[in-house]
């Protein structure tokens, strides 16, 4: 059996599956149930300073359901924990004592004041937690108070607070990054420069999931009105993969450990993030949708896949996809692939023809032969875009076949069709 032991920033857990800081990690009861189900770690729901109480509203969640899939995307307008700090600290101390082999990370969010961070670190250190996650990502409610993404969008603040935390605790510090920014490398580099032991990403994306056309308000509707919130779930996975990959391949980030977050719902998602450089994997929406026992399928699926591939540990394939993540200008302009339709598997639905004829390159021929519809690829017109393969409802009915070629690897920078190269030729 594959060894799923996860090691990140000096912290070890029995598997890489952690619950992200969110409602599922808000109290001892939830966290113990999660550990019992098999989760390797949790990031306790974000703690704040003592003072004015955090007050949540009702309702708090909105969702996108697509083509029969419930909660393809989840929006929330919930704040950090609304439970007293002292109660959280007591429960965290007890949980860590009773579950020493599981990871417990404390998520923190306090104002951008050195004393505030110094004080809360001193208090939380006593719980025995394994490390900290600095929440610089929340895009609603707390950001209006100068915290969350209001900090995460300013690299100087990230750098400053990270340095404070590294000064006042010896435990590993994870910096949680907001995706609500143009270039994820700017805050990531600021965290690295500040001494972060790891980064966590992505936090939720600023969003409005829908409009209630009866109430004429964004959802969730709170007494007739709504607000923007944080978007997560399977729908954000492509964005998360890209941002994780950007950091994993960036020389200036110095191979900083990454705790990946964003739409991880099954073992396959987990394997993708690890292949792109992730260490631990944080899950929220999938657990809220299906319950804590979903981790059993994740563990079994990842372990079985690793066994099939011959990977004995996570390190055997962690980051293997990073060297193959390039910029568009690095791609081979001489590579060609063509679509091939398996007529035996084809159910004659015509989706490939409609998609190609109406919106692409008119490379699929539709014929009526002996009363049956037949579809075939016009090879000379096919540009290998693979739209037909994507719309086809039958797995492996349409495949993309590389065209044999003796042409050398040629990037856009070397391509004579590139205007820059044409200008050089003229000059």
Closest by CA to 193, choosing from 232, 161, 150, 233, is: 161
DSSP line for 354-413: HHHHHHS---EEEEEETTEEEEEE-TTT-----HHHHH-SSTTTEEEEEPP--PPP--TT
Task: Find where tokens 């035996």 sit.
Answer: 344
Looking up tokens 């993708």 gives 272
C-alpha distances (whole Å) from 1 to each of 102, 267, 298, 388 are 20, 15, 15, 39
Q: Which tokens hold the place of 91?
A: 């429960």
Pick the catalytic residue from 129, 138, 165, 346: 138
Grouping H, G, I as helix, E, B as strand and the rest as coil, residue 334 is coil
- Alpha carbon of residue 46 to chain centroid: 19
**Omega of the bond prior to 84 within 30 degrees of 0, cis?**
no
**What is the C-alpha separation between 195 and 411, in angstroms, rounded?**
37
Is 232 tagged catalytic?
no
Q: What 3-state class would DSSP assign to 278?
A: coil
And the tokens for 330?
């690095």
Whole-angstrom distance, CA of residue 139 vs CA of residue 333? 40
Beta strands in 26-147 (DSSP E): 41-47, 61-66, 69-76, 103-108, 131-135
Separation between Cα atoms, residue 133 and residue 24, nearest integer Å: 16
User: 416 vs 75, 287, 382, 423, CA distance in Å?
Assistant: 47, 52, 22, 10
∠ CA(356), CA(240), CA(329), 5° rounding?
60
Would you name the residues annotated as active-site residues? 138
């Amino acid at each position: 059996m594959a060894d799923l032991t996860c090691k990140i920033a000096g912290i070890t857990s029995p598997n890489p599956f952690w619950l992200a800081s969110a409602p599922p990690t808000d109290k001892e009861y939830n966290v113990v149930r999660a550990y019992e189900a098999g989760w390797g770690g949790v990031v306790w729901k974000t703690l704040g300073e003592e003072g004015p109480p955090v007050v949540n509203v009702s309702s708090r969640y909105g969702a996108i359901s697509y083509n029969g899939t419930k909660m393809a995307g989840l929006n929330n307008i919930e704040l950090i924990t609304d439970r007293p700090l002292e109660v959280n600290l007591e429960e965290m101390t007890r949980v860590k004592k009773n579950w020493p082999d599981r990871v417990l990370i404390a998520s923190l969010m306090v104002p951008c004041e050195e004393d505030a961070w110094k004080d809360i670190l001193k208090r939380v250190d006593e719980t025995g937690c394994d490390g900290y996650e600095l929440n610089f990502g929340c895009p609603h409610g707390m950001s209006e108070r100068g915290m969350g993404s209001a900090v995460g969008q300013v690299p100087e603040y990230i750098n400053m607070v990270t340095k404070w935390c590294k000064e006042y605790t010896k435990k590993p510090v994870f910096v949680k990054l907001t995706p609500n920014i143009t270039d994820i490398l700017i805050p990531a580099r600021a965290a690295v420069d500040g001494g972060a032991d790891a980064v966590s990403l992505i936090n939720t994306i600023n969003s409005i999931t829908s409009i209630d056309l009866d109430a004429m308000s964004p959802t969730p509707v709170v007494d007739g009105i709504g607000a923007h919130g944080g978007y997560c779930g399977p729908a954000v996975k492509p964005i998360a993969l890209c941002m994780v990959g950007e950091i994993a391949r960036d020389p200036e980030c110095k191979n900083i450990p990454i705790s990946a977050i964003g739409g991880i719902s099954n073992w396959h998602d987990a394997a993708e993030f690890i292949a792109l450089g992730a260490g631990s994997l944080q899950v929220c929406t999938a657990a809220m949708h299906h319950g804590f026992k979903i981790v059993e399928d994740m563990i079994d699926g990842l372990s079985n896949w690793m066994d099939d591939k011959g990977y004995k540990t996570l390190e055997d394939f962690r980051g293997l996809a990073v060297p193959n993540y390039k910029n568009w200008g690095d791609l081979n302009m001489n590579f060609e692939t063509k679509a091939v339709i398996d007529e035996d598997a084809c159910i004659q639905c015509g989706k490939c023809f409609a998609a190609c004829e109406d919106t692409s390159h008119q490379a699929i021929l539709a014929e009526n032969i002996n009363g049956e519809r037949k579809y075939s690829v016009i090879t000379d017109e096919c540009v290998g875009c693979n739209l037909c393969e994507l719309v086809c409802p039958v797995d492996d009915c349409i495949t993309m076949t590389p065209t044999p070629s003796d042409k050398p690897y040629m990037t856009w920078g070397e391509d004579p069709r590139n205007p820059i190269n044409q200008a050089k030729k003229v000059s």
